[in-house]
Chain A
Amino acid sequence: MPVFEYAPAPESRAVVDIAPSYGLFIDGEFGEAGDGKVFKTLSPSSEEVLSEVAQAGAEDVDRAVKAARKAFTTWSALPGSERAKYLFRIARIIQERSRELAVLESLDNGKPIRESRDSDLPLVAAHFFYYAGWADKLAYAGYGTDPKPLGVAGQIIPWNFPLLMLAWKIAPALATGNTVVLKPAETTPLSALFFADICRQAGLPKGVVNIITGDGSTGAELVAHPGIDKVAFTGSTEVGKAIARTVAGTRKKVTLELGGKAANIVFDDAPIDQAVEGIISGIFFNQGHVCCAGSRLLVQESVQDELLDALKRRMGTLRLGDPLDKNTDIGAINSAEQLARIRALADAGEAEGAERWAPACELPSSGYWFAPTLFTGVTQAHRIAREEIFGPVLSVLTFRTPEEAVAKANNTPYGLSAGIWTEKGSRILWMANKLRAGIVWSNTFNKFDPASPFGGYKESGYGREGGRHGLEAYLAGAAQPTSERSEREGERDR
């Protein structure tokens, strides 16, 4: 039998120039942390040290917030059309530098270049273009005729989509006239620091965007700082709860995008081949490091065997390895810590009696790797059906009727996303109304667009990012958060 071996097709590292060390970007300048502390950032696919970055302390956070406060006066007073010019300029620079940024992101995060190049970067640019378009039209966004910015936004982003999460946070904040202090994740700070350089390249006024690197303690300082008016956080539910406790009783506005345990529901009349692709992209996209990942597959019993056969066959074709190879489908796990967590939960799945399966898959000898894994015979009582794994691990459950599918899908502390696969349009609409999730995809999964709002129910957080709804979180006097409204509407049909 002939074998079609794909020769390695690595993207060149030469397009990106990583400095041996980076400082904090405050008031338009890079500088060391006050106490000179630094930490290293690794390439998760090789454990190679990429660079050293400053660890911001309380004093640095204070400096950054003050710089943002000072810049707010002039930035918020600019006409929307002027702010739009800067945002459009940033968007175009991102497009021009997209190859460099994609390689950088794959190096620092471990995600395949195919995804950073074809998915992350185009969306990053699209978000800046989209919100640039809103900057001079805020009066028509539905939040009053003269909506005002909040002030200084403290933004904390996760390591799974470093540059994309930055875009989701910074673009609407700037478009609405706010200034920002952003802290990227400890394991993936580099693209944010490159973004700081892009801000300079675009001639953005000093202090409008400040990037401070550091670990959780830096984030905690930022959230607690009295000089910020708004906290925007994407990350774990645990940290989200701590943030909510910190800001409770203050005047600060908060949006939280937290964990998820999405149900991907496949009916027996689904387009099977496309459903398999949707399941694959739902859970194995970005190594499963996606808060809206379709980590619970709910399949109708009558097609279970057929679907699982097809899914396993397809999983066997996934290519795991060097993130910079253009033919890689699955890259490295972001950190040793995350790998340990995935392993622990997968072991718990086995210990609790679920059946584990993974395709024959050779893992590289250095770096953090986890083979795409499938658990069958999972029940609602298993930990792997309840806890967010944030890795390439899919739990398969079954159902018999649409009512049962809804009940199981909603039986989770989370509510970020869900997927429905059926050829029956009326069932899609019926289910979408019943599912308590911020996003419901039908006959597709993990599709993002700047014009589409994103956010969760229950422990998946509150507030919406993206779309017109995403402006609301950065405007004063706007109506109550969309998610609270929809939560209550959801109550009625419980």
Chain B
Amino acid sequence: MPTTVPAYGKEAAERLASMADVTADDRALRRFLHGLPGVDAVGLQARAATLGTRSIKTTAKAYAIDLAISMIDLTTLEGADTPGKVRSLCAKGINPDPTDRTVPQVAAICVYGDMVATAKEALKGSGIHVAAVATAFPSGRAALPVKLADTRDAVAAGADEIDMVIDRGAFLSGRYLEVFEEIRQVKEACVREDGTAAHLKVIFETGELQTYDNVRRASWLAMLAGADFIKTSTGKVAVNATPPVTLVLLEAVRDFRAAVGVQVGVKPAGGIRTSKDAIKYLVMVNETLGGEWLSPDWFRFGASSLLNDLLMQRQKLSTGRYSGPDYVTVD
């Protein structure tokens, strides 16, 4: 098995290596994760709500809408997906509004592993990444060799990014080292033949982790194991991304960079449908992490219907009038 080539600098790699003792065994890892500062749910929710009350108008709104479009992982994860559906999604990602060529393109197209080659072909030359969900998405219930094979298959098909799900069962029963090992091995499976590696996004399915303390622990666990991005949800359960949960992720990547020197991205996914919501998330990023994370390199939205609302809002800003869903494409 090839060894991981860290995407970050030598110094950061050394600092990360210096934290190896916290992942030495299950007990050490548990002690470390449970030693992280707790999250007070009431205070966290109040802070997230306050950030949601910022009034973003005119130029700021126009800026935020374009930024949000450029951060979208435009997603189709249906059993009924066909190459045709994926190709039309790719076309939309490249050129979101046929009536307005100034609209930025999206960050990535997110598909199941078997659609990677189709998406890759359709996106050729656009610079848009192909993200593939892997590791027995969305449940994550398969043997590790199967998950690794799933990952390698998607990488071999040309995926630029891998969205993996953690084993929530293992996490909730306290088998942290098992989750850590799994992420580490998937990260290794992201390495391509030429030595470069697909970006690894680790999905926690925060709706199933239940507590904010768990979300913070999962964030650190994934980052210690080498996640390039941490992501809230699959979009396949009842409760997906929420502002408070995303705030915990943002605080975790901020603290992780302060401690280790490695910058990790954040991706809320599932349930973000309106421009208003998306702007609230951007305000949260802006006021928690600042401009360093305000780019598709470090922040993404996992969404399918958000793009159309952003386009309608964008049309409203430029024409002064609301149009309607028939003035944007369905896919």
Contact = CB atoms under 8 A, between A and B. Distances in A.
Interface of A: 1-9, 114, 118, 269-274, 277-278, 309, 317, 326-327, 423, 443-444
23 contacts: A1-B290, A1-B294, A2-B295, A3-B291, A5-B59, A6-B55, A6-B60, A7-B58, A7-B59, A8-B57, A114-B53, A270-B38, A271-B37, A272-B37, A273-B37, A273-B39, A273-B251, A274-B44, A277-B46, A326-B53, A326-B55, A327-B54, A443-B40
Interface centre among B37, B60, B63 (most CB of A within 10 A): B37
Given A5-B60, A317-B287, A271 B53 contact: no
Given A2-B291, A4-B63, A271 B47 contact: no
A4 B286 contact: yes
B132 interface: no
Given A1-B292, A4-B63, A274 B54 contact: no
Contact of A443 (B42, B290, B292): B42
B164 interface: no
Contacts of B57: 7-9
A273 B60 CA distance: 27
Interface string B32-71: 0000011110111011000001111111110110010000
Interface of B: 37-40, 42-44, 46-47, 53-61, 63-64, 67, 251, 258, 282-283, 286-287, 290-292, 294-295
B294 A4 contact: yes
B43 A278 contact: yes
A163 B222 CA distance: 50
Contact of B42 (A5, A114, A444): A444
Contacts of A317: 287
Contacts of B286: 4
A4 B291 contact: yes
B92 to A, nearest CB: 25
Given A7-B59, A443-B40, 12 more contacts: A1-B294, A4-B294, A5-B63, A7-B56, A9-B57, A114-B53, A274-B39, A278-B43, A317-B287, A326-B53, A326-B55, A444-B42
Q: 7 tightest CB-CB pairs across the interface, nearest first?
A: A274-B43, A9-B55, A326-B55, A271-B40, A274-B40, A7-B60, A1-B291
A8 B283 CA distance: 15
B328 to A, nearest CB: 25
B249 to A, nearest CB: 12
Contacts of A272: 37
Given A271-B38, A272-B37, A444 B43 contact: yes
Given A1-B292, A2-B291, A4-B291, A277 B43 contact: yes
A326 B144 CA distance: 51
B295 to A, nearest CB: 6
Contacts of B39: 271, 273-274
A317 B55 CA distance: 15
With a 10 A CB-CB cut-off, give which of B43, B67, B294 has the most chain A CB atoms.
B43
A273 B287 CA distance: 13
Nearest to B42: A444
Contacts of A273: 37, 39, 43-44, 47, 251
A241 B157 CA distance: 81
A418 to B, nearest CB: 17
A317 B60 CA distance: 17
A277 B60 CA distance: 25
Nearest to A6: B60
A378 to B, nearest CB: 24
B11 to A, nearest CB: 20
Contacts of B58: 7
A114 B53 CA distance: 9
Nearest to A326: B55
A199 to B, nearest CB: 31
Contacts of B56: 6-7, 9
B43 A4 contact: no
B291 A269 contact: no
Given A274-B39, A274-B47, A317-B287, A4 B53 contact: no
B294 to A, nearest CB: 4
Contacts of A274: 39-40, 43-44, 47
Contacts of B61: 7
Contacts of B59: 5, 7
Nearest to B46: A277
Contacts of A6: 54-56, 60
Contact of A118 (B53, B63, B283, B290): B53
Contacts of A8: 57
Contact of A4 (B42, B47, B64, B258): B64
B302 to A, nearest CB: 21
Nearest to B295: A2
B316 to A, nearest CB: 16
A412 B56 CA distance: 44
A443 B291 contact: no
A320 to B, nearest CB: 15
Nearest to A1: B291
Among A4, A272, A444, chain B packs the most CB atoms within 10 A around the CB of A4
Contacts of A118: 53
A465 B295 CA distance: 50
A191 B251 CA distance: 40
Contacts of A326: 53-55
A326 B40 CA distance: 27
Nearest to A280: B47
Contact of A271 (B43, B290, B294): B43
B47 A277 contact: yes
Nearest to B36: A272
Nearest to B45: A274
A188 B294 CA distance: 42
A309 to B, nearest CB: 8
Contact of A269 (B38, B258, B292, B294): B38
Nearest to A303: B37
Contacts of B40: 271, 274, 443-444
Contacts of A270: 37-38
Contacts of A2: 67, 291, 294-295
Contacts of A114: 53
Contacts of A1: 290-292, 294
A386 B56 CA distance: 41
Nearest to A423: B38
B200 to A, nearest CB: 24
Nearest to A271: B40
A146 to B, nearest CB: 41
Contacts of A278: 43
Contacts of A277: 43, 46-47
A272 B40 CA distance: 9
B287 A443 contact: no
Contacts of B258: 309
